[in-house]
Amino acid sequence: LPVPVELRNFSLYRRLSRTCRFNSFCDLKILFLQVWFKLKMSQAEKLKQGQFTNPETPGYVGFANLPNQVHRKSVKKGFEFTLMVVGESGLGKSTLINSLFLTDLYPERVIPGAAEKIERTVQIEASTVEIEERGVKLRLTVVDTPGYGDAINSQDCFNTIIAYIDDQFERYLHDESGLNRRHIVDNRVHCCFYFISPLGHGLKPLDVQFMKAIHNKVNVVPVIAKADTLTLRERERLKRRILDEIDEHGIKIYHLPDAESDEDEDFKEQTRILKASIPFAVVGSNQQIEAKGKKVRGRLYPWGVVEVENPEHNDFLKLRTMLITHMQDLQEVTQDLHYENFRSERLKRGGRKGPEPEEMDKDIILQEKEAELRRMQEMIAKMQAQMQKQGDE
């Protein structure tokens, strides 16, 4: 297989092999591939198993092989995923990201002191890492938001974040409407993990305001951080409280899609369990501790060891499963829902810098929209003509 352009950077390759350990990530990646495969299969017609291998069977056309081809192509191309983490400082965001992807995303991290924090505004830091596992490449971008919620007056702290999200959409829109659409880099934020503090009685006003500001732009997944502070009962109570408050304020968090009826029972059961555990209460750690004779990732306390990958201790595994099996779905929702919303808003506003045309008559709006559509179609036709000319030359 020819090595794709992105991987000709050999130093990246070396970094990959050094920083990534793929032990338990593997199984879930395989699961992801299986699920993805199934989804693609159910789109095509289902033929019996034997007909794949026997081309002489009457009535066999052969397009059942399509998913394999798609699979191969996607594997070659690699996947892109952008994850944003938002939350107050000290909630364990960086530790959780490192635990999820088994890497060290912040090797030279300096945690600023209180005096520096007072003057700081929210900043956006995006770090990209390419992870490879069994030939499948994932280009993961983690967008961190240090300084969120730190200042005494956090009134405007999320404007920077919203501006960033909009900016990524804008860039994608611009690329999509551009001439050369082959290598559009998708930096849109596909998922946002919002970290909720476990100390407290539910959502704070800042949490509510922030989630309401971005729930129409990005998939919001609420996560309860540092869940080892809570006993089981407190955890249940807090989860219920948070879900109630989310309903009360009308916040649209990301909902896992229901398993289709033709999926197998295990998958349906898994989806059901995942849905019941939102918001996930997680504990992150990358330290290996000896517990009961085996090495586990966890946190060592004088009174016991909290195991990160133990489903009875916390929901880390569930969060990881959700992220992996639904990575494709997250991307699709971002593309089909949030991006389309943004695009229509944007195009509606278009070149007009005036106030929102809500006072104008509906017909006039319709007419304007049609005019815009016609203009865009003309532009596209022109561009196609140009490309054809270039192709001929």
Residues that bind another protein (CB under 8 A): 88-91, 111-115, 117-118, 150-155, 197-201, 204-206, 209, 226, 228-229, 231-232, 299-307, 312-313
Give the residue with the Cβ less far from another protein, 10 or 303: 303
- Min dist CB 373 to another protein, Å, is 41
Contact 187, 171 (CB under 8 A): yes
Give the residue with the Cβ less far from another protein, 79 or 158: 158
| Residue 155 DSSP symbol | T
Give the residue with the Cβ less far from another protein, 20 or 305: 305
- DSSP, collapsed to helix, strand or coil, labels residue 339 as helix
- Min dist CB 340 to another protein, Å, is 31
- Min dist CB 92 to another protein, Å, is 8
End-to-end CA distance of the chain: 31
From the number of C-beta atoms within 10 Å of its C-beta (0-12, 13-18, 19+), residue 134 rates as: exposed
Give the residue with the Cβ less far from another protein, 129 or 161: 161
Give the residue with the Cβ less far from another protein, 116 or 258: 116
Contact 217, 166 (CB under 8 A): yes
- Min dist CB 327 to another protein, Å, is 29
How many Cβ atoms are within 10 Å of 289's Cβ, its own excluded?
A: 16
From the number of C-beta atoms within 10 Å of its C-beta (0-12, 13-18, 19+), residue 209 rates as: middle
Tell me how far apart the alpha carbons of residues 170 and 163 are, in angstroms, rounded to a whole number: 10
- Min dist CB 94 to another protein, Å, is 11
Tokens 């019996």 correspond to what residue? 48
Cite the DSSP H helix spans in 219-339. 232-249, 265-276, 316-325, 327-333
Contact 298, 285 (CB under 8 A): yes
- Min dist CB 25 to another protein, Å, is 24
Tell me how far apart the alpha carbons of residues 149 and 69 are, in angstroms, rounded to a whole number: 47
Give the residue with the Cβ less far from another protein, 82 or 95: 95
Give the residue with the Cβ less far from another protein, 67 or 202: 202
Q: Which residues pair with 298 in a beta bridge?
A: 307
**For residue 213, what are the contacts with CB-CB under 8 A and spacing of at least 6?**
158, 162
Give the residue with the Cβ less far from another protein, 66 or 300: 300
- Min dist CB 276 to another protein, Å, is 18
Among residues 238, 215, 240, 208, the alpha carbon closest in space to that of 226 is found at 238
- Min dist CB 203 to another protein, Å, is 10
How many Cβ atoms are within 10 Å of 346's Cβ, its own excluded?
A: 13
How many Cβ atoms are within 10 Å of 5's Cβ, its own excluded?
A: 8
Give the residue with the Cβ less far from another protein, 4 or 200: 200
- Min dist CB 208 to another protein, Å, is 10
